[in-house]
């Protein structure tokens, strides 16, 4: 042998040996399971990775053709496919569910190839296996998730629209059934269109810019838009859009738009806003909207250097109409007044109702302040036409006050206050007219405000007191009762008579606490007289109209009687004729409730109103007081004497006591005696006097008796 040839052969053998060793290591250390079988399918080799994957060692499976890792029922089909692939010389690939030695199952991905010898003849099969259980699980979860997502899109109550995100292409690629239901368009009608077709020509919507910006900059966006269905009807769309990115998260491929039909919510909000800004009875602007309109009007007038007029209108004697005809009729009257006021002004002007029978009119762009007089006259003429209420014609007048920007003030509160002052000046001078505010009215209003504040302080500080005017029995000239009269001992002014503050107390509502104070004070005084041993006598208490209208008046007075332990039978509640003649049925209920307390009821100022005999028979009245206007000239005027005599005769026929007020002379007293009048009040016998002086007279009279 050639030494050189031997050396080459050894070298080749060494190279092949190293190669075999390397291949053996590669198979042994491969992360994939490797199984080698002969052509009969008997296992001749498996590597550690296969053992780790299945739990089967080589000595447990060598020589076996029934492979225990293959679940029953799968081997035949798998091997049919495997042998077919081998016969045509191609590897077999497939995913197979397999079983481990411990009985648990897993998924393996395997490739089976035929091993051939140098002559190309098949000698073995080699299977390379990979455990793909986790991947299969992820894939299954992904499929389930994708299915759920598709179902969610299809089942969503919100419309879903997916569009492309190219700079020049935002066409629709998908819409869900809710989109079809909300818009009325079928999917095939909108695929390929751009979503903006829902806006149609209604492009002047500020929120549209939010969507354009989001599409351009590829970020989320939100807008509330007016959209239109296929039939042209409007719906409000609360639109949310969001970018859809690719798997890398780097590029935006689509946008998903969520369409929420909020038409019902918008209509509800609009209704709430309307209610918040409009009077529920007339539909006019309310105080809230009025404030906004005045400020807008002032801003416009400032910009255009024009004049803004504020008119405050108050219906004259509306309460009489309301009381006589009832609240429903009063409401109908206010609605008609509102309509007439609206018809008298321009669309750019504002008519508002402040409440009750008070209205405000804002007039923009007036050439001159005096032009408001013509407008006011137009309003008064419109109101002067008869209004049918409860089946009869009613005639309405109004008092109107006016103020102006910039002449009188530069904000709404001042202008309304000054218009109110001017309106009250109209009330004081005959009503049914208009007046413009002048600065002198301001000082008068300040005095009025000062008086109101002082009255409130006076109630808190105990500045009010009672005087008593005796009732005299004409047959004995003895005191048989009295009328309690309120006075105000002002710390700076001195003694203030009711004529100076009662009207203001009525307007401001202070008459209610004042009236309650009088009732309680008279009750306490009666108890003090009882404790002093004085004989009981009836004291008259005047009731104001506002006090009488309280629904719980009887309960309030009963509570005072209970708290003071006063005797209700020793009191006479005096009500004016005009008070009880409005809304007779309701007042009859109130009078009966008072009568049940045990008090007596007196009809004051009788003869000045319009009482009829039939009403007097219905009312539970105990006493009539003849108004002083019939007594003043009773001894010189036959007419007044005839009226007074008729009242006395009527009262006696009804079994009522009669009291003549304002008796100043002996001639008047003598004539009343001749007429059969029971009792009198007046300066001829006694002026109103403080409690101490009146108590002294009572003691003296009682001592004289004994």
The one-character DSSP state at 169 is B
Rounded to whole angstroms, the Cα distance separating 615 from 430 reads 31
Does the pLDDT of residue 442 top 60, yes or no? Answer: no
Rounded to whole angstroms, the Cα distance separating 166 from 215 reads 9
CATH code, domain carrying 190: 3.30.450.20
Q: Of the ranges 85-89, 106-110, 213-217, 560-564, which one carries the lowest mean pLDDT score?
A: 85-89
End of a domain among 104, 135, 166? 135
Question: In this structure, is residue 9 part of a structural domain?
Answer: no
Contact 269, 322 (CB under 8 A): no
Q: Which helix (H) or strand (E) holds 553?
A: helix 553-564
Does the pLDDT of residue 705 top 70, yes or no? Answer: no
Question: In this structure, is residue 446 part of a structural domain?
Answer: no
Give pLDDT, residue 607.
Answer: 64
What's the domain range around 92? 18-135
Helix (H, G, I), strand (E, B) or coil at 515: helix
Total count of domains within the chain: 4
Question: In this structure, is residue 703 part of a structural domain?
Answer: no
Give pLDDT, residue 392.
Answer: 80
Shared domain for 508 and 638, answered yes or no, is yes
- The whole-angstrom distance between residue 392's C-alpha and the CA centroid of its chain comes to 37
Contact 193, 187 (CB under 8 A): no
End of a domain among 226, 247, 267? 267
- The whole-angstrom distance between residue 383's C-alpha and the CA centroid of its chain comes to 33
Cis previous bond, 617, omega within 30: no
Q: Of the candidates 56, 42, 113, which has an alpha carbon nearest to the alpha carbon of residue 83?
A: 113
Give pLDDT, residue 73.
Answer: 53
The one-character DSSP state at 499 is G
As a whole-number percent, the residues of the chain with pLDDT over 90 amount to: 32
β-sheet with 159-164: strand ranges across: 172-175, 159-164, 252-261, 234-245, 221-228
Rounded to whole angstroms, the Cα distance separating 519 from 597 reads 14
Rounded to whole angstroms, the Cα distance separating 169 from 252 reads 13
Shared domain for 407 and 458, answered yes or no, is no
Rounded mean pLDDT, 242-250: 81
Shared domain for 284 and 183, answered yes or no, is no
Q: Of the ranges 111-120, 358-367, 374-383, which one carries the lowest mean pLDDT score?
A: 111-120
Residue 645: half-sphere exposure toward Cβ, Cα within 13 Å: 12
Strand pairing category for 657-660 and 679-680: parallel
Cα angle 695, 699, 701 (rounded to 5 degrees) comes to 115
Does the pLDDT of residue 614 top 80, yes or no? Answer: no
Rounded mean pLDDT, 307-324: 85
Rounded to whole angstroms, the Cα distance separating 38 from 43 reads 7
Write out pLDDT tens, residues 330-376: 888 999 999 999 999 988 899 999 888 899 999 998 888 888 888 88
Q: How confident is the model at residue 17 (pLDDT cuts 50, 70, 90)?
A: confident
Rounded mean pLDDT, 99-116: 87
Rounded to whole angstroms, the Cα distance separating 287 from 414 reads 14
Shared domain for 554 and 645, answered yes or no, is yes
Q: Which tokens go with 310?
A: 């504020």
Shared domain for 77 and 206, answered yes or no, is no
Give pLDDT, residue 362.
Answer: 94
Give pLDDT, residue 363.
Answer: 92
Question: In this structure, is residue 442 part of a structural domain?
Answer: no
First to last CA, the chain: 180
Q: Of the candidates 278, 279, 208, which has an alpha carbon nearest to the alpha carbon of residue 241?
A: 208
Give pLDDT, residue 449.
Answer: 62
Helix (H, G, I), strand (E, B) or coil at 248: coil
Rounded mean pLDDT, 27-50: 89
Shared domain for 552 and 620, answered yes or no, is yes
Which residues, other chains included, contact 53 with Cβ-Cβ below 8 Å and sequence gap of 6+? 33, 100, 106, 108, 129, 131
Give pLDDT, residue 72.
Answer: 63
Question: In this structure, is residue 6 part of a structural domain?
Answer: no
Strand pairing category for 122-131 and 464-473: unpaired
Shared domain for 114 and 158, answered yes or no, is no
- What Å distances lie between residue 565 and 526, 528, 555, 691, CA to CA? 10, 11, 15, 20
Q: Of the ranges 314-318, 446-450, 554-558, which one carries the lowest mean pLDDT score?
A: 446-450
Contact 66, 54 (CB under 8 A): no
Shared domain for 214 and 248, answered yes or no, is yes
Question: In this structure, is residue 510 part of a structural domain?
Answer: yes
Give pLDDT, residue 23.
Answer: 82
CATH code, domain carrying 480: 3.20.20.450
Shared domain for 30 and 165, answered yes or no, is no
Residue 227's φ and ψ, nearest 5 degrees, are: -115, 165
Q: How confident is the model at residue 635 (pLDDT cuts 50, 70, 90)?
A: confident
Rounded to whole angstroms, the Cα distance separating 98 from 109 reads 10
Rounded mean pLDDT, 681-706: 88
Does the pLDDT of residue 154 top 70, yes or no? Answer: no
Write out pLDDT tens, residues 168-207: 888 988 888 889 999 999 989 989 898 889 989 888 888 8
Mean pLDDT in the chain? 85
Residue 251's φ and ψ, nearest 5 degrees, are: -115, 140
Ranked by mean pLDDT, which of 279-283, 518-522, 634-638, 663-667 comes out on top? 518-522
End of a domain among 135, 165, 180? 135
Contact 376, 387 (CB under 8 A): no
Q: How confident is the model at residue 706 (pLDDT cuts 50, 70, 90)?
A: very low
Q: Of the ranges 142-146, 358-362, 386-390, 448-452, which one carries the lowest mean pLDDT score?
A: 142-146
Question: In this structure, is residue 552 part of a structural domain?
Answer: yes
Shared domain for 93 and 54, answered yes or no, is yes
- What Å distances lie between residue 604 and 575, 621, 660, 669, 674, CA to CA? 6, 11, 10, 19, 22
Q: Which tokens go with 690?
A: 């403080």
Give pLDDT, residue 643.
Answer: 85
Cα angle 561, 565, 568 (rounded to 5 degrees) comes to 50
Does the pLDDT of residue 18 top 60, yes or no? Answer: yes
The one-character DSSP state at 63 is T
Which residues, other chains included, contact 431 with Cβ-Cβ below 8 Å and sequence gap of 6+? 316, 397, 398, 399
Give pLDDT, residue 2.
Answer: 57
Which residues, other chains included, contact 443 with Cβ-Cβ below 8 Å and sequence gap of 6+? none
Give pLDDT, residue 96.
Answer: 83
Residue 634's φ and ψ, nearest 5 degrees, are: -60, -30
As a whole-number percent, the residues of the chain with pLDDT over 70 amount to: 90
Residue 619's φ and ψ, nearest 5 degrees, are: -75, 140
Helical residues (DSSP H) of 439-534, grouped into ranges: 439-461, 502-508, 511-531
Does the pLDDT of residue 584 top 80, yes or no? Answer: no
Whole-prediction pTM: 0.44
Strand pairing category for 623-626 and 657-660: parallel
Give pLDDT, residue 608.
Answer: 57
- The whole-angstrom distance between residue 674's C-alpha and the CA centroid of its chain comes to 68
Shared domain for 244 and 341, answered yes or no, is no
Q: Which residues of 451-483 are buried (b: 16+ CB within 10 A; e: fewer)?
A: bbebbeebbeeebbebbbbbbbebeeeebebbb
Does the pLDDT of residue 78 top 90, yes or no? Answer: no
Rounded mean pLDDT, 106-134: 86
Question: In this structure, is residue 518 part of a structural domain?
Answer: yes
Q: How confident is the model at residue 618 (pLDDT cuts 50, 70, 90)?
A: confident
Q: Which residues of 251-278 are buried (b: 16+ CB within 10 A; e: fewer)?
A: ebebbebbbbbbbeebeeeeeeeeeebb
Give pLDDT, residue 139.
Answer: 66
- What Å distances lie between residue 203 and 222, 549, 679, CA to CA? 16, 58, 86
Q: Of the ranges 73-87, 215-229, 352-366, 450-464, which one carries the lowest mean pLDDT score?
A: 73-87
Give pLDDT, residue 239.
Answer: 92
Does the pLDDT of residue 74 top 60, yes or no? Answer: no
Shared domain for 206 and 312, answered yes or no, is no
Q: How confident is the model at residue 444 (pLDDT cuts 50, 70, 90)?
A: low
Burial class (CB in 10 A: 0-12, 13-18, 19+), 206: exposed
């Amino acid at each position: 042998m050639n030494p050189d040839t031997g050396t080459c052969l050894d070298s080749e053998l060494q190279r092949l040996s190293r190669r075999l060793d390397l291949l053996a290591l590669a198979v042994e250390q491969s992360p994939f399971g490797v199984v080698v079988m002969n052509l009969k399918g008997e296992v001749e080799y498996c590597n550690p990775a296969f053992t780790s994957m299945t739990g089967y060692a080589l000595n447990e499976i060598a020589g076996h053709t029934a492979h225990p890792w293959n679940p029953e029922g799968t081997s035949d089909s798998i091997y049919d496919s495997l042998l077919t692939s081998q016969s045509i010389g191609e590897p077999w690939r497939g995913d197979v569910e397999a079983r481990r030695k411990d009985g648990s199952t897993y998924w393996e991905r395997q490739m089976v190839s035929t091993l051939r010898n140098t002559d190309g003849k098949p000698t073995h099969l080699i299977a390379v296996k990979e455990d793909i259980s986790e991947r299969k699980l992820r894939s299954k979860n992904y499929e389930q998730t994708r299915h759920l997502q598709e179902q969610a899109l299809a089942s969503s109550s919100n419309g879903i629209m997916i569009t492309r995100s190219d700079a020049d292409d935002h066409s629709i690629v998908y819409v869900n059934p809710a989109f079809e239901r909300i818009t009325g368009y079928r999917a095939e009608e909108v695929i390929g269109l751009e979503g903006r077709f829902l806006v149609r020509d209604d492009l002047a919507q500020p929120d549209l810019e939010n969507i354009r910006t989001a599409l351009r900059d590829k970020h989320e966006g939100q807008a509330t838009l007016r959209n239109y269905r296929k039939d042209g009807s409007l719906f409000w769309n609360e639109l949310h859009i969001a970018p859809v990115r690719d798997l890398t998260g780097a590029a935006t491929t689509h946008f998903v738009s969520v369409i929420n039909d909020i038409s019902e919510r918008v209509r509800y909000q609009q209704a709430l806003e309307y209610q918040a800004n409009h009077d529920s009875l007339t539909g006019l602007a309310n105080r809230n909207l009025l404030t906004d309109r005045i400020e807008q009007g002032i801003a416009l007038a400032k910009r255009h250097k024009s004049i803004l007029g504020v008119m405050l209108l108050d219906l004259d004697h509306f309460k009489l109409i309301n009381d006589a005809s009832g609240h429903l009729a009063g409401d109908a009257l206010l609605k008609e007044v509102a309509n007439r006021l609206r018809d008298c002004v321009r669309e750019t002007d504002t008519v508002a109702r402040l409440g009750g029978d008070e209205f405000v009119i804002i007039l923009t762009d007036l050439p001159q302040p005096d032009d408001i007089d013509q407008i006011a006259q137009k309003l008064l003429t419109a109101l002067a036409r008869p209004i049918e209420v409860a089946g009869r014609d009613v005639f309405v007048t109004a008092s109107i006050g006016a103020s102006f920007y910039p002449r009188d003030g530069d904000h709404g509160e001042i202008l309304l206050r000054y218009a109110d002052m001017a309106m009250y000046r109209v009330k004081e001078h005959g009503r049914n007219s208009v007046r413009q505010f002048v600065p002198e009215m301001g000082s008068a209003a300040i005095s009025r405000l000062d008086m109101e504040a002082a009255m409130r302080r006076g109630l808190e500080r105990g500045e009010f007191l009672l005087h008593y005017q005796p009732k005299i029995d004409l047959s004995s000239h003895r005191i048989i009762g009295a009328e309690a009269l309120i006075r105000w001992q002002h710390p700076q002014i001195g003694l203030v008579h009711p004529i100076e503050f009662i009207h203001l107390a009525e307007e401001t509502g202070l008459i209610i606490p004042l009236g309650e104070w009088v009732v309680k004070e008279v009750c306490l005084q009666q108890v003090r007289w009882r404790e002093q041993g004085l004989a009981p006598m009836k004291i008259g208490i005047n009731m104001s109209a506002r006090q009488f209208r309280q629904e719980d008046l009887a309960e309030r007075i009963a509570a005072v009687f209970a708290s003071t332990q006063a005797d209700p039978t020793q009191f006479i509640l005096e009500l004016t004729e005009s008070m009880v003649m409005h809304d007779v049925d309701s007042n009859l209920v109130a009078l009966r409730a008072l009568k049940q307390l045990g008090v007596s009821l007196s009809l004051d100022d009788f003869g000045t109103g319009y009482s009829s005999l039939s009403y007097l028979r219905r009312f539970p009245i105990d006493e009539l007081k003849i108004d002083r206007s019939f007594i003043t000239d009773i001894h010189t005027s036959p007419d007044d004497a005839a009226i007074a005599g008729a009242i006395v005769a009527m009262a006696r026929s009804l079994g009522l006591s009669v009291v003549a007020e304002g008796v100043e002379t002996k001639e008047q007293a003598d004539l009343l005696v001749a007429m059969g009048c029971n009792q009198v009040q007046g300066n001829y016998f006694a002026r109103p006097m403080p409690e101490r002086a009146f108590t002294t007279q009572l003691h003296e009279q009682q001592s004289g008796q004994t």
